[in-house]
Structure 1
């Protein structure tokens, strides 16, 4: 077979294979698997600062309004984040199947209990996603000593309520800190420890 006939055949085959949209591919990847991606050495853009720890902090004037989330919890109760008005809300997106989520779970358990004991106006809320069975999520909470509630969101519908862009929890695990006025103040797209978690929370708590 001549070179020209081979080339024409390859072009014909490639035209019959549909291309998967890049945006859809990235979306499927980010919501399906865990990530430990860092943000490099830090950058400043459009009112937010992305640091080397994977944490993005938003200036007060540039903060987006967080959605009010509601639904059933892993524990079988109902929850609406509007009941935490006036408090700093710490949202953690996790799944029992996610290895990086397991690495950070003990820190969330510790910090949430410490801040509660200190009487700080902070509410921790988990968003459990991609777990089709509440039993797996409940066992995860028990094993790691998680005492705050987690909304059960197997299909990721609650995550999609967040504004697109830098304020979106577009990975698992992800952490979002919401200020007392219901605005998104900080976001992390990587597993974090207790030090980083407090560095996200304390400046927001100190705001007037």
Structure 2
């Protein structure tokens, strides 16, 4: 445990230096959400909180691809047809440590419903990130993003300074909800269940109603 804490301290120092002036700058999605619950921190101008996007105004998830922490490859386009949760995190981030058990729990509970989770480990080292995954029992893959480039692909949806952040993607590859800042178990489970239920609620097209 002591070695793990030492790794966190070292990585945190490096990450703060890498983040530099961007840590206090942020941007927000310019679309009109169907429902919004947010707050602004006095220490960080980025708006934090939960945003839900109505079905007609959902931005597409960036088609990012890259190497995972375990050496594999992952592309968001391969997950089309699934509800997907994308979590931006770093081992140096205290709120990321606090939310990790909740993310792991929801990932395990919803996998049979077809939900997939993907992490984006940003501005981090492989050693610290892999140790983080082992420490918290993370059951899903994370893209390795040491330079923050994958995270930047979400700019306009997730601010570049917002770590952690979580987005929920519907089966059509569009972002249904996002949480800027730490996500809780109840909050995330509710968002995921709602997006999963959208598919079940879609009316089936009967043979009689089809043209021709």
What value does the CA root-mean-square deviation take over the aligned residues?
A: 2.1
Report Cα offsets for 1:85-115 as digits up to 9, x if no partner: 1001100000000000000000011110111
Q: How many residues align?
A: 167
Given that 1:64 and 1:163 are in contact with CA atoms closer than 8 Å, whether structure 2 keeps it comes out as no
Given that 1:169 and 1:176 are in contact with CA atoms closer than 8 Å, whether structure 2 keeps it comes out as no
1:187 to 174, 178, 181: 178
Q: What are structure 2's unaligned runs of at least 5 residues?
A: 1-19, 40-48, 200-212
Give the Cα separation in 1 of the matches to 2:22 and 2:54: 26
Q: TM-score, normalised by structure 2?
A: 0.73
Give the Cα separation in 2 of the matches to 1:101 and 1:113: 18
1:177 alignment partner in structure 2: 168
2:76 to 81, 89, 100: 81
1:65 to 25, 48, 60: 60
Change (3 A) 1:138 1:30: farther
Which structure's CA Rg is the greater one?
A: 1
2:88 alignment partner in structure 1: 93
Given that 1:89 and 1:178 are in contact with CA atoms closer than 8 Å, whether structure 2 keeps it comes out as yes
Q: CA deviation at 1:169?
A: 4.6
Q: How does 1:162-173 map to 2 (within 5 A)?
A: 162=154, 164=156, 167-170=157-160, 171-173=162-164
Given that 1:30 and 1:172 are in contact with CA atoms closer than 8 Å, whether structure 2 keeps it comes out as no
Runs of 4+ in structure 1 off by over 6 angstroms are none
- Please say if 1:136 is aligned against 2:128: yes
Q: What are structure 1's unaligned runs of at least 5 residues?
A: 1-24, 32-44
Give the Cα separation in 2 of the matches to 1:195 and 1:72: 30
SS in 1 for 2:85: strand
Give the Cα separation in 2 of the matches to 1:151 and 1:179: 20
Q: CA deviation at 1:27?
A: 3.6
